[in-house]
Structure formats: structure tokens, C-alpha cells
Amino acid sequence: MKITWYGHSAFRIDHGDARILIDPFLTGNPSWDGGWEGPADGVTHVLLTHGHDDHLGDSVDILKATGAMLVANFEICMYLVGQGVDDARINPGNHGGTVDCGGFATSFVRAEHSSSSQTDGGQNVYLGNPGGLILAFEDAPSVYHMGDTAIFADMGLIDEFHRPQIGIVPIGDRFTMGAQAAALACRRYFNFDKVIPCHFGSFPIIDQTADAFVDAMEGESGTVLLPKIGEPVDV
């Protein structure tokens, strides 16, 4: 499995025949200036944790150009269908559910955040419950993209039920967990093989480095993986 980070919360996961983009905020992402076309090359699935613009990103353009499957909550799926996404290529779900994506399954779990998008007229559109996504593969590590979230005690139930092996964890503070809370979540509730921090270093009002998170992981800092933006890593 190869995982590529494009800054903020945007990731690509390549395994087998699956080419997966999660929260593809590429155009306008201060950490990435390469456009969406390269990251979207050959993409088979677009997965979305919630509806904020820094997570929806280039989803509509990517889905229209590639014909990829959209995996998101029902409200986001319907919202993007209204923007021209093919309704035959959506795979909606919600908290507690699991959907077959062909080559892997995606489970929808809770996140402590909010979810909406702003129209051209400045109106906020409700886009369902924010969530995390757990990707389960038959022959590769399972991946938990937490989306944007605070720490919450039911993370223990998520680990008990799903046993994710790779955690993609927001650490930037202000809109998500900060370094201390994110490290506590990883240490107390999970037994990750690898942790990839995200949602930092992009906008000036959130934390700019992962240093405090690495320090807060204490003796477990070896589990933290800090990929360079745009460069795939093998896990």
C-alpha cells in the first residue's frame, strides 16, 4: 500500500486496483500547488469525511473527469449530484454503516465537528454528520482517516470494533484536536502501527508543525510517520 499526503487532510491511497482520494482539497491548498489533475490520475474512488470546503475541495471536478465512485454520507452525495456528479456513481452511508467499495470496504464512524458548505450566494448548506472513515482491505493494513474531530471516549469502541492499524489524525488545534489531545487519543484508545498526523501547516491560524505531537507521543514517537507532501510512502 502506498499513501501520499498532499497537505492539510488530503490523501491518496493506492493498493491493488484501488486508487483512492480522501478529502481532495488541492486547488487553493496552501501546502500544495500542483493542481488536482496529477493526484487524480487514474483515481477510482473519492471519499469525503464532511462537507467543509477544505475537504470537499476539487471533488466535483475530479468525479466528473474520472467517473470515480463517490463514498460519503447521504447529504454530501445528494449535494454533489446536484452539482452534476453522476448519481449512478455514488455510494452513500452514515454513522455505523459499512459499504462495499470493490476491493475494500468503508465504515462510517463518528467525529466531533460540524459539516456544511457555502454556496456562491453565501448561504451555508447543511451536509449531514461529520465523520471518520475506516478503510478495510483483505490484504493490507486498515486505515482510519479521522476527518476533523476532537477527542471523544467512544474512540475506544471504534478501536474495539474495527482495530485500525494506520491512523490519519488531525493535530492542528483550533478546529480539531491539538497536539496533546491527539496524542492522548492515539495512546489511550488505539494500538496503531503507524500514525500520520494531518490538518497542520496549511493555514496560519492552525499549528504549523507536528513537533508538539511527536513530543507528546513520548516513547511511542517511533509510530509517527511524517511523509513529505506529494511523495508516496509504503506502509
Domain of residue 70: give its range: 2-225
Task: Tell me the per-residue pLDDT of 128-179, one tens digit each, with 9 for 90 and over.
Answer: 999 999 999 999 999 999 999 999 999 999 999 999 999 999 999 999 999 9
Taking the C-alpha atoms of residue 220 and residue 5, their distance in angstroms, rounded to an integer, is 22
pLDDT at 197: 98
Q: Which CATH number belongs to the domain containing residue 203 in this structure?
A: 3.60.15.10
Domain membership of residue 235 (yes or no) is no
Q: How many domains does the chain have?
A: 1
Domain membership of residue 234 (yes or no) is no
pLDDT at 121: 81
- End-to-end Cα spacing for the chain: 6
CA-based nearest residue to 115, from 125, 130, 133, 94 = 130
Domain membership of residue 179 (yes or no) is yes
**pTM of the shown model:** 0.98
Domain membership of residue 231 (yes or no) is no
Domain membership of residue 230 (yes or no) is no
Q: What are phi and psi of 145, to 5 degrees?
A: -90, 110
What is the pLDDT confidence band of residue 220, given thresholds at 50, 70 and 90? confident
Give residues with Cβ within 8 angstroms of 224, minimum separation 6: 194, 195, 196, 197, 210, 213, 214, 217
Domain membership of residue 72 (yes or no) is yes
pLDDT at 49: 99
Task: Tell me the per-residue pLDDT of 40-99, one tens digit each, with 9 for 90 and over.
Answer: 999 999 999 999 999 999 999 999 999 999 999 999 999 999 999 999 999 999 999 999
